[in-house]
Chains A and B, each alone.
Chain A
């Protein structure tokens, strides 16, 4: 299965600022997924990032707030812009690749964001 390096692991940010989260994959993948998990909630898909095209955002998420870059098949960034305390969450990137058991989605180690 793929190995995803996600940075930063955690951060505490002031409201109104922006944070960029990076994910590096050790394999080339077509689609990368960005999720948010608010406290006590399940995972919510923010957007799907395809290399060479604009990201596809889910309902309730917009590019101005969560701009995504996907410059190549192994790397993507998600920026959380103009942050407010409501953006405090765990942010996760994910890819899906075939492995011995069929295939499954692999997640990065996650970024725990606290906005104060």
Chain B
């Protein structure tokens, strides 16, 4: 059965810390891996990764994919209280429907 596993499930850090969130997957027909930030209800898109070893970067956030070892990491440097959220990882299946398989998320709390 296809699955996406995120770790840790929750994390509490202090402002200024650097965090690394993990996402491993077992998906038969892989197309891409996506990271989202969910603060209230709607997830907001962070990154889409399709190729191994190419880092995507947006401000203090960066992410990279390893298609051989079947995992991705999301790094957040110099964390701020506004980074507190649930970070979701999803793998998009290849095919017409492009179904997303979601992990449970990592709940990040950044304390001042």
Contact = CB atoms under 8 A, between A and B. Distances in A.
B42 to A, nearest CB: 4
Interface residues of B, number: 21
B2 to A, nearest CB: 12
B104 interface: yes
Central interface residue in B34, B42, B105, by most chain A CB within 10 Å: B42
Interface string A72-116: 000000000000000000101000100001111111111110000
Contact of B97 (A6, A48, A109): A48
Nearest to B46: A104
Interface stretch (A12-20, A38-46, A62-70): A38-46
A56 interface: yes
Given A41-B104, A48-B97, A104-B34, A110 B42 contact: yes
Most chain B beta-carbon contacts within 10 A, residue among A41, A56, A101? A101
Contacts of B48: 101-104
A31 interface: yes
14 contacts: A1-B45, A6-B42, A42-B102, A42-B105, A43-B88, A48-B97, A56-B97, A90-B41, A101-B56, A102-B48, A105-B34, A107-B43, A108-B42, A109-B41
B42 A31 contact: no
Interface of B: 34, 40-45, 47-48, 50, 56, 88, 90, 97-100, 102-105
Given A48-B97, A103-B48, A104-B34, A110 B105 contact: no
B6 to A, nearest CB: 9
Given A104-B34, A105-B34, A110-B40, A45 B45 contact: no
Contact of A107 (B42, B56, B102): B42
A105 B104 contact: no
A101 B44 CA distance: 14
Interface string A1-43: 1000010000000000000000000000001010000000111
B34 A42 contact: no
A10 to B, nearest CB: 9
A45 B43 contact: no
